[in-house]
Chains A and B, each alone.
Chain A
Amino acid sequence: MSDSCRASRGRIRRLAGIAAIAVCAFTSFASAQIATAATLKAAFLYNFAKFSEWPADVLAAGQRLEMCVVGDAAVADALGQTIKGRAMEGHELTVTVLKVGESPSACHLLYVSASEMKRSAAVLLGARGASMFTVSDADGFAESGGVAQLIVENDRMRFAINIASAQRLRLNISSKLLSLAKIVKDQNNVPH
């Protein structure tokens, strides 16, 4: 719902006008949006970075925040568009497309697409232990120890977060992000 709608709902509780609600509903409906999966994934990745904190030894003040994408050119492009001209608390944002076999050690946030998962087990093994926010849309990623997973449900995108993984990696995820996430417990024993 748009910000103006939320505000008017507050007023409505005080004024109790049906007409105001009807108009609000109409304008929300009229501005209902659609987007491609790639654009949505990029937006979620941007928000994951926005609502998380990395330890100071991994992301120092003024240091560039590196977001890396493996296996999805469309997401990489959309993320590039989303971060243009935006900084996050003094950290410049960059997007890098990792080729298979390239080391992700410089990445703060790493997205691996499901189609690349089979070939990228090596990439993820390299990721563990570093304070890397790992995200994927592969089934069971969060349960297997990844930090976040993007899920498509009924033509909408949702996300799941494995709090234990985040804590292990010394990532501090804001409660705002956690309140909207599906919380996932570790299913497998993840060696680290």
Chain B
Amino acid sequence: MLALSGIATEATAQAGPLSTDLGRATLEDLLKIQITSASRKEQRADDTPSAVSVITQDEIRRSGMRTLPELFRLVPGVQVAQINSSTWAVSIRGLNDQFSNKLLVLIDGRSVYKRNSSGVFWDLEDVVLDDIDRIEVVRGPGGAVWGANAVNGVINVVTKSAKDTPGALVRVGGGTFDGTGVTARYGGSFGNAAYRVYSQWTGRRDTTLANLAPADDAWNVLTNGLRADWSRGGDDVTVDGSVRTGDGRGLWKTLEGPTSAVRRTDGTSSFRNGSVLGRWIHRRENGSALQVQSFAMFSHRLDKLTEDENIYDVDLQYHTKIGARHDIVTGGGYREVDNTTSQTFSFSLTPATSETAVTHVFTQDEIALGTRVRLTLGAKLEHDAIAGWGLQPTARMMWDPSPRHHVWAAASRALRTPSRLDLSARANVAAIAARPLPILIGVLGNPDYQTEELLDAEAGYRIDLGSRVSVDVATFRGHYTGLTTNEPQAPVIEATPGPPHVLIATRFENHLQADTAGVEIATHVAPAPNWRVDASYSGFRFTPHRDATSRDQAAATFDGNAPAHQWQLRSSVSLGPRTEVDAGLFRTGAQRSLGVPAYTRADARVEVKLTGHLSAVAAARNLFDPAHAEFVALAVASTQVPRSADIQLVWRF
């Protein structure tokens, strides 16, 4: 009987109000209190000469958001636009697209960026939000450490170690649009090892059309996973595996032949995928550490086309200090991607099957120049069969004029290597009946498509005015070369597939240069111990410079697919030990090139702890707006995001 009460009191503390005065606590009490990850965030982010934001578990929980891509709205400089029920366009510092090709996304070290199509299938990655420890968002080129395709930033979703998720968690929710689902997770331990197993089913309902009718694009995902962590002495081993299946109504535009009409197809889209990752970190007494990581991913997707992809990846990193001044990280890795994509009239890649191998080495040295200044020099050298060798260097400086002030500056080069889509795509987008031959409108890939390059300079300032106020400012200027243009080709007559027709197509080329500039400001204020306010603003300017040889009209006035201004204001209040009230206001400016008007989104959330184990949460999103459009995509039908509300019950044992 005493053992029972022992377990209960030792169980992971529920997230609750932050204690700010522990003067009355006894020593025994102090030893039991759980440290919030908010403090780890302050230490980590303050020390980095980059524009880094960390979204903590507390912020995730109190945002009321139920999907991973939605959470990225909490960081300035990130553009998140929902396209339809299962697709989002996410990017950092512009150039957003359904397949945003300049953003690297990692979940626990596993890259979910698809190199072949350049982008992320967000509907696949349905993570248990309660078990996320933090999301690190690095804005700006991460090429020197993370490699090609981390041109505009890196998002790193880190879930909690299995040691930090003991016990059971059951979440049941129902919502009008999102928030419907069931999650069950159980964590245990034996000896030096801990594990957690989980199962999560999430259902999303239809978005709406412009006339507020349902768009019939609902979908659902079932995820089953296991994570185990073992540590002893200087060794930590993590094994992480999951399988996902999902299906839903896909909305895509298809064309059957040279004489048919484009139809918005409501088909059933389905996928299944699985991944397994292993990681071993070995730390020595002298402070050095070696990390070896390997993962494999298998996926099968059926929608507009059938796609099968297998990825194998192995990665090494070694961290050591040399002398008193040098802190060095060096490493390398190899990744193989095998992809088979079916060929349809609407869209095909050539050849249908490809095997790509990418090898990389990188090194980074943080040099202490005196007591207040650190200089970091780094570079990554990467090779793949298509793009050949690519070098991405970076130089960063950090100056701490006082313990509360941090100033940093950086200059980098980042690359986006051509994908199979850029090189060999053939898309037929429309057919026009005409005499003597029907006309087919197409988009073509280009076997001579070049690597895109970004040269970028950034600077930032952080000030930490005690535990109550902090301000973080980052500015950047970038110059892109080789961005995609769609160049009209001379009409040709094609005989196959019949009937014979005239092909009027554009081809991908690299005739756009652009300059970008922007600023991101984030502030956190605690006006009272139980009240926290977060506010942020991002400004972005994109100036296109089209080559004289280009005939792509749209490129001349392209705005970078990002709004010029975005801001947000969020408030989190704890009313006593059992109630939390949170609200957020998000404003996204107009996107001229896409024709999407500006919109304001208001979110609200209330959580009440009913008992020591059970909480009830009610949340609503887009409170003042029945529906609005956020993006216009080329490959899928874009709909409007409706107002939504949901209720969740969460049990923790």
Interface residues of A (CB under 8 A from B): 1, 9, 16, 18, 21-22, 24-40, 42-44, 46-47, 51, 71-74, 77-78, 81-83, 86, 100, 115-116, 118-119, 152, 154-158, 176-177, 180
The 5 nearest A-B residue pairs measured at CB: A25-B8, A32-B13, A37-B39, A43-B22, A29-B612
* Chain A residues in 8 Å Cβ range of B18: 34-36, 39
* Chain B residues in 8 Å Cβ range of A33: 13, 16, 19, 29, 32-34
* Chain A residues in 8 Å Cβ range of B40: 37
Closest residue on chain B to residue A3 by CB atoms: B26
* Chain A residues in 8 Å Cβ range of B4: 21-22, 25
Question: Separation in Å of the B540 CB from the closest CB of chain A?
Answer: 32
Is B19 a contact of A34 with CB atoms below 8 Å? yes
Question: Separation in Å of the A163 CB from the closest CB of chain B?
Answer: 17
Closest residue on chain A to residue B22 by CB atoms: A43
State the CA gap A37–B28 with chains docked (Å).
16
Is A83 a contact of B23 with CB atoms below 8 Å? yes
A–B Cβ pairs within 8 angstroms, 14 of them = A1-B32, A21-B4, A24-B5, A25-B4, A30-B577, A33-B34, A34-B19, A40-B33, A40-B35, A71-B403, A73-B466, A74-B467, A156-B33, A180-B31
Is A36 a contact of B38 with CB atoms below 8 Å? yes
* Chain A residues in 8 Å Cβ range of B16: 32-34
Is A81 a contact of B20 with CB atoms below 8 Å? yes
On chain B, the number of residues with a Cβ less than 8 Å from chain A's Cβ atoms is 51
- Decide yes or no whether B11 CB sits under 8 A from chain A: yes
Closest residue on chain A to residue B468 by CB atoms: A77
Is A100 a contact of B34 with CB atoms below 8 Å? no
State the CA gap A161–B18 with chains docked (Å).
28
A-B pairs with beta carbons under 8 A, tally:
155
> If A26-B611, A74-B464, A154-B163 touch, does A34 touch B5 (CB 8 Å cutoff)?
no
State the CA gap A37–B31 with chains docked (Å).
12
- Decide yes or no whether B48 CB sits under 8 A from chain A: no
Closest residue on chain B to residue A50 by CB atoms: B27
Closest residue on chain A to residue B38 by CB atoms: A36
Closest residue on chain A to residue B32 by CB atoms: A156
State the CA gap A16–B1 with chains docked (Å).
9
State the CA gap A8–B20 with chains docked (Å).
28
Is A154 a contact of B9 with CB atoms below 8 Å? no
Is B5 a contact of A25 with CB atoms below 8 Å? yes
State the CA gap A39–B2 with chains docked (Å).
31
Is B22 a contact of A35 with CB atoms below 8 Å? yes
Q: Which of B23-69 contact A (CB under 8 A)?
A: 23, 25, 27-36, 38-40, 42-43, 47
- Decide yes or no whether B489 CB sits under 8 A from chain A: no
Is A35 a contact of B1 with CB atoms below 8 Å? no
Is A1 a contact of B9 with CB atoms below 8 Å? yes
State the CA gap A177–B28 with chains docked (Å).
10
* Chain A residues in 8 Å Cβ range of B21: 39, 81-82
State the CA gap A74–B13 with chains docked (Å).
23
- Decide yes or no whether B130 CB sits under 8 A from chain A: no
Is A36 a contact of B31 with CB atoms below 8 Å? no
Is B8 a contact of A118 with CB atoms below 8 Å? no
Per DSSP, chain A at the interface is helix
State the CA gap A6–B25 with chains docked (Å).
14
Is A77 a contact of B466 with CB atoms below 8 Å? yes
> If A21-B1, A29-B8, A71-B403 touch, does A43 touch B30 (CB 8 Å cutoff)?
yes
> If A1-B9, A25-B4 touch, does A34 touch B36 (CB 8 Å cutoff)?
yes
Question: Separation in Å of the A109 CB from the closest CB of chain B?
Answer: 16
State the CA gap A83–B31 with chains docked (Å).
19
Is B577 a contact of A46 with CB atoms below 8 Å? no
Question: Separation in Å of the B229 CB from the closest CB of chain A?
Answer: 12
Is A21 a contact of B42 with CB atoms below 8 Å? no
Is A30 a contact of B609 with CB atoms below 8 Å? yes
> If A37-B39, A81-B20 touch, does A44 touch B30 (CB 8 Å cutoff)?
yes
CB < 8 Å: which of B23, B33, B466 contacts A86? B23
Closest residue on chain B to residue A158 by CB atoms: B31
State the CA gap A131–B20 with chains docked (Å).
30
- Decide yes or no whether B260 CB sits under 8 A from chain A: no
* Chain B residues in 8 Å Cβ range of A38: 39, 467
Is A180 a contact of B27 with CB atoms below 8 Å? yes
* Chain B residues in 8 Å Cβ range of A42: 22
Is A72 a contact of B467 with CB atoms below 8 Å? no
- Decide yes or no whether B15 CB sits under 8 A from chain A: yes
- Decide yes or no whether B353 CB sits under 8 A from chain A: no
- Decide yes or no whether B264 CB sits under 8 A from chain A: no
Closest residue on chain A to residue B404 by CB atoms: A73
> If A21-B4, A46-B23, A82-B22 touch, does A73 touch B403 (CB 8 Å cutoff)?
yes
> If A82-B21, A180-B28 touch, does A32 touch B34 (CB 8 Å cutoff)?
yes
> If A33-B13, A156-B34 touch, does A78 touch B467 (CB 8 Å cutoff)?
yes
State the CA gap A34–B5 with chains docked (Å).
20
State the CA gap A42–B35 with chains docked (Å).
13
> If A36-B38, A40-B33 touch, does A18 touch B15 (CB 8 Å cutoff)?
no
Is A155 a contact of B464 with CB atoms below 8 Å? no
Question: Separation in Å of the A102 CB from the closest CB of chain B?
Answer: 13
Is A177 a contact of B34 with CB atoms below 8 Å? no
Closest residue on chain B to residue A79 by CB atoms: B23
> If A25-B9, A73-B404 touch, does A35 touch B35 (CB 8 Å cutoff)?
yes
> If A36-B38, A74-B466, A154-B164 touch, does A28 touch B8 (CB 8 Å cutoff)?
yes
- Decide yes or no whether B192 CB sits under 8 A from chain A: no
Is B33 a contact of A35 with CB atoms below 8 Å? yes
* Chain B residues in 8 Å Cβ range of A81: 20-21
State the CA gap A39–B33 with chains docked (Å).
11
* Chain A residues in 8 Å Cβ range of B30: 40, 43-44, 47, 157
